[in-house]
Structure 1
Amino acid sequence: MQNNTKTGRKPNIRISQSDHARLSVLASTVAARNPEAADELLAELERARIVADGWVSTGTVRMGSIVTFKPDTGDRKTVTLVFPGDADISEGKVSILTPIGTALIGLSAGQSIMWTARDGRRHELLVLDVSQPAPEGGVADRRAPASSTIAAGV
């Protein structure tokens, strides 16, 4: 388990090229009306290791991932990370523009992160499990396993 809370450092994260590009555009688009959310998302994107789309492991949180985590405030929760237009908390769909959504992007099972809620309180969460929804047609996600990440062609 990677636990960086004692050092105050955020854990290493990986984001696919396509998610990075789409999330960068999203952050720029919402910056005028929601500067805090845009700034938090941009900060996460800046510190992420960007990897080729085919080399993001199935165990890494990306857009559309189903994530089970344990917050310091209670019992484990399972959510799907989505774009703002698809968010619906009653269905467990959390927007990337929420503080917890931004905190989750790029993490893997076993990693923990400190994040700040909208009310200003600091929290910690531990990612327990990450899975990807089956694509239409029901074929399992065949992306690289967690140990096979390769940096994008730099």
Structure 2
Amino acid sequence: MLAQADVVVRPRIIMAETEVEALTTLALQMEPAAPLAADMLLAEIDRAEVRPDADMPDHVVRMRSTVRFEDDANGMARSVLLVYPKEADIAAGKISVLSLVGAGLIGLSVGQTIRWPDRDGHERLLRILKVEPPAPPLF
């Protein structure tokens, strides 16, 4: 049995209704190829407060948000654009929501931190420093 101090409390997260639908479908489709990231994303979706898209605050990480975060593994801050897997390009600063870091960032707000595993199974502390909301559609 875990002692209360051993239980990791994850911060409250908010997700947009249409993104929840798309991300759930994506995670279920990708589960055979990326089981850890898909399962972690599904767990985040399950615990999220789901809001209509129009009610999403600008300071919350969404799909196509630009996120500046700090990673305690190296103490460095970096900015990334959170995208769907087909758009991912690490060299261009575009990370997939189905990467471990991407699944950990979705739904967080400026100032929040989360303990999240990396590919090697080590826990990292990710802290959200800034969020630029997704650009509105051009049509």
Give the TM-score normalised by the residue count of structure 1.
0.82
Across the aligned residues of Structure 1 and Structure 2, the Cα RMSD in angstroms comes to: 1.7
**Is 2:20 the partner of 1:48?**
no
SS at match of 1:128: strand
CA distance in 2, matches of 1:134, 1:31: 29
- Please tell me the residue identity of whatever aligns with 1:46: D
> Aligned in 2, Cα 1:63/1:75: closer, same or farther, shift over 3 Å?
same
Cα offset, 1:17, TM superposition: 0.4
Matching residue of 1:74: 75
Deviation per CA, 1:94-127: give whole Å up to 9, x if none.
Answer: 0001111000000010000000001111100110
Q: Where do 5+ consecutive residues of structure 2 fail to align?
A: 1-5
Identity %: 41
Contact 2:58/2:133 (8 A) holds in 1: yes
> Aligned in 2, Cα 1:56/1:136: closer, same or farther, shift over 3 Å?
closer
Matching residue of 1:124: 125
Matching residue of 2:3: none
Cα offset, 1:33, TM superposition: 1.9
CA distance in 1, matches of 2:112, 2:49: 15
CA distance in 1, matches of 2:37, 2:123: 16
Deviation per CA, 1:77-108: give whole Å up to 9, x if none.
Answer: 00000000000011100000111100000001
Cα offset, 1:133, TM superposition: 4.0
- Please tell me the residue identity of whatever aligns with 1:88: D
Cα offset, 1:74, TM superposition: 2.2
Aligned residues: 133
CA distance in 1, matches of 2:37, 2:7: 25
SS at match of 1:76: strand
- Please tell me the residue identity of whatever aligns with 1:118: R
